[in-house]
Amino acid sequence: MIEVEGLTRKYGAFTAVDDVSFVAEPGRVTGFLGPNGAGKTTTMRVMVGLTPATHGRVTIGGHLYSDIPNPGLHVGVLLDASAQHAGRTGREILTLGATTMGLPKSRVDEMLALVSLSDTEAKRRLRNYSLGMKQRLGIAHALLGDPSVLILDEPANGLDPAGIRWMRGLLKGYAERGGTVLLSSHLLHEVEIIADEMILIGRGKIVAQGSKESLLADADHSSTLVTSLDNDLLGKALQHKGYGVAAAGTGLRVEAAPVDVGRVAADNTIVLTDLRSADGGLEDLFLALTSETQRDVLPEGAQA
Ligand SMILES: Nc1ncnc2c1ncn2[C@@H]1O[C@H](COP(=O)(O)OP(=O)(O)OP(=O)(O)O)[C@@H](O)[C@H]1O
């Protein structure tokens, strides 16, 4: 289990991580999601003792990372797949890791096979690896010591679609066997597919957290876009039921779920020509919650 308690990290006057608390549980994949610069990497660096906290603390299995003897046997870490010595081969990097952790050399071959790096690829120097190959090697390195906790910063970065699917299967299986997985991403879709729990962070602060189902339920209070053969009548019927209604394009935007709008239309025998959720589910929630921190939102009055 990873426990983050009131973690703050300041760089001078700038607060990169602001009083962040959450727990990543065993047997669950926890997605740590936020836009660029939200504070994900900083939080993970504090977790593994690479950056000191300004306030608060992180414990893994109840211990500070720096207090865990031979940490690779307990915590697998992938923060920057390029951070290894570029002149070493993949096999050398894993062998060094195995030796440091006191593991047999056979573990290196097992891990190379697990991440599908061929013998030829394993003999190449890291500087000649593609980003996806570096990520595979990084995952192999993180798993070397058969740890019970995995901390992975943007692990899907650079993987092709087949590689992403492979990684999802790997991490799901790892969590199903009781492992704790914390993985960060700035891409909602990536996290949504794999994570059981989600922590949303924006500008250093947690903006939402919970199980994927509970976040989806929150996001699904939804409004609906509907068009019918008689929008006036439908609008009145919906208002009569107490739903907020506004004109939208050729139809209406209704503050109700699509199923409720459909029911009112059916009760009044109104033919619908279009009925759909106005929400992008979690994506809208994510963008709304982190909107202040998005770089790509046009300032008010600006033209697209
Ligand atoms: N050593 C540092 N000195 C000053 N500012 C820093 C330092 N490290 C990180 N920051 C700032 O802290 C903020 C959070 O950065 P961080 O790398 O944790 O974000 P992130 O969520 O991982 O982003 P991304 O998705 O782009 O990787 C950013 O504004 C970053 O510029």
Query: Per-residue pLDDT tens for 273-295?
Result: 999 887 666 676 677 666 655 54
Q: Span 59-84, mean pLDDT? A: 90
Supply the pLDDT for residue 298.
46
Domain with CATH 3.30.70 in the chain: 221-278
Q: Is 228 in the pocket of ligand 1 (CB under 6 A)?
A: no
The Å distance, Cα 149 to ligand 1 centre, comes to 23
Mean pLDDT, rounded, of the chain: 88
Q: Is 134 in the pocket of ligand 1 (CB under 6 A)?
A: no
Atom of ligand 1 nearest to the CA of 11: 4
User: Smallest Cα–Cα separation from 61: which of 50, 71, 52?
Assistant: 71
Domain with CATH 3.40.50.300 in the chain: 2-218
Query: Per-residue pLDDT tens for 164-206?
Result: 999 999 999 999 999 999 999 988 888 888 899 999 998 899 9
Q: Quick one: which H or E segment has residue 11?
A: strand 2-11
2-218 topology per CATH: Rossmann fold (3.40.50)
Q: Is the pLDDT of residue 262 over 90?
A: yes
The Å distance, Cα 267 to ligand 1 centre, comes to 54
Q: Are 8 and 20 in contact (CB under 8 A)?
A: yes
Interface confidence, given as ipTM, is 0.95
Q: Which CATH architecture has domain 221-278?
A: 2-Layer Sandwich (3.30)
Which residue puts its alpha carbon closest to atom 19 of ligand 1?
37
Helix (H, G, I), strand (E, B) or coil at 60: strand
Q: Is 39 in the pocket of ligand 1 (CB under 6 A)?
A: yes
The Å distance, Cα 260 to ligand 1 centre, comes to 44
Q: Span 30-47, mean pLDDT? A: 93
Q: Span 2-27, mean pLDDT? A: 96
Supply the pLDDT for residue 299.
46
The Å distance, Cα 131 to ligand 1 centre, comes to 21
Q: Span 81-109, mean pLDDT? A: 89
Query: Per-residue pLDDT tens for 211-257?
Result: 888 887 766 567 888 999 999 999 999 999 999 998 877 889 898 88
Supply the pLDDT for residue 286.
72
Q: Is 235 in the pocket of ligand 1 (CB under 6 A)?
A: no
Which residue puts its alpha carbon closest to atom 31 of ligand 1?
37
| Helix residue ranges per DSSP H, 33-185 | 40-47, 90-101, 106-114, 119-122, 131-143, 161-176
